[in-house]
Amino acid sequence: MLIDYKNAKIIQTDGEAILTDVNFHVDEGEFVYIIGRVGSGKSSLLKTIYKELDIEEADEATVLDTDLKSIRRKQIPALRRQMGIVFQDFQLLSNRTVYKNLRFVLRATGWEKDKVDARIDEVLTLVGMKDKMLRMPHELSGGEQQRIAIARALLNHPKLIVADEPTGNLDAETAAGIMDLLREISQTGTAVIMSTHNMPLLDQYPGIVYRCFKGHLEEVTGDYNKMKIAEEED
């Protein structure tokens, strides 16, 4: 099991609990959605996975065989190197080419210099962006920038991808291309966990569905369609 939370409490940076009694589990190759209204705790849950937020209380809180309750600060970079993180706003270095964005990550994570170029070629080919290697981020469309962000997330052969609203700023057609790519990645054995408020995606790209609602997290894989209207009206 890649992620195992049992009765966890998630606290925001202001000290307020946003989710309590969280039971959340992710296995290899699973495609997992986190849904819920803005402010319901989706991003906070994801941030605990890569240890940007702490879990103060839990019966169990492990990610990639690491106990989040006892991990030391100096161990966090090693944990993060085992996962890829994709943000809604891409977070590419604006003053560097695509190639130099990716090279920066590989050099920072200890790759040998003579293996860097081959790995960059591999991930850019995978996301269909090899011909954009020498472009600057501002020269790319939103969908292209998100593909580069996914390529960056794949550099260190991650066991899981954490994606926070990866299609939130994209049009429907571009979003579908990003979803196709993420599904292909999950089929290679890498788990994908993504937050979204785009409910039609769940029908087009089925997966395991959890909902953040009224301070709790619940699995709603078989029932999320019934909750669309109720959630909007609540």
Residue 27 has pLDDT above 70, yes or no: yes
Q: Are 34 and 5 in contact (CB under 8 A)?
A: no
Mean pLDDT of the chain: 92
Q: What is the pTM of this model?
A: 0.91
The string of pLDDT tens digits covering residues 139-163 is 999 999 999 999 999 999 999 999 9
Tokens 């954490």, residue located: 162
Residue 15 has pLDDT above 50, yes or no: yes
Confidence band of 105 (pLDDT split at 50, 70, 90): very high
> Of the given ranges (133-137, 150-154, 203-207, 222-226), which has the lowest mean pLDDT?
222-226
SS3 call for 226 = helix
What percent of the chain clears pLDDT 90, i.e. is strictly above it?
Answer: 80
- Who wins on pLDDT, 168 or 129? 129
CA neighbor of 69 nearest in space, from 119, 2, 5: 5
Strands (E), the chain: 3-11, 17-26, 31-35, 55-57, 60-63, 66-67, 83-86, 160-164, 191-195, 208-213, 216-219
Q: What does the pLDDT read at residue 227?
A: 62
Residue 230 has pLDDT above 50, yes or no: no
Q: What does the pLDDT read at residue 40?
A: 92
Q: What does the pLDDT read at residue 234?
A: 43
Question: How far apart are alpha carbons 230 and 227 in whole angstroms?
Answer: 5
Confidence band of 226 (pLDDT split at 50, 70, 90): low
Question: How far apart are alpha carbons 66 and 75 in whole angstroms?
Answer: 10
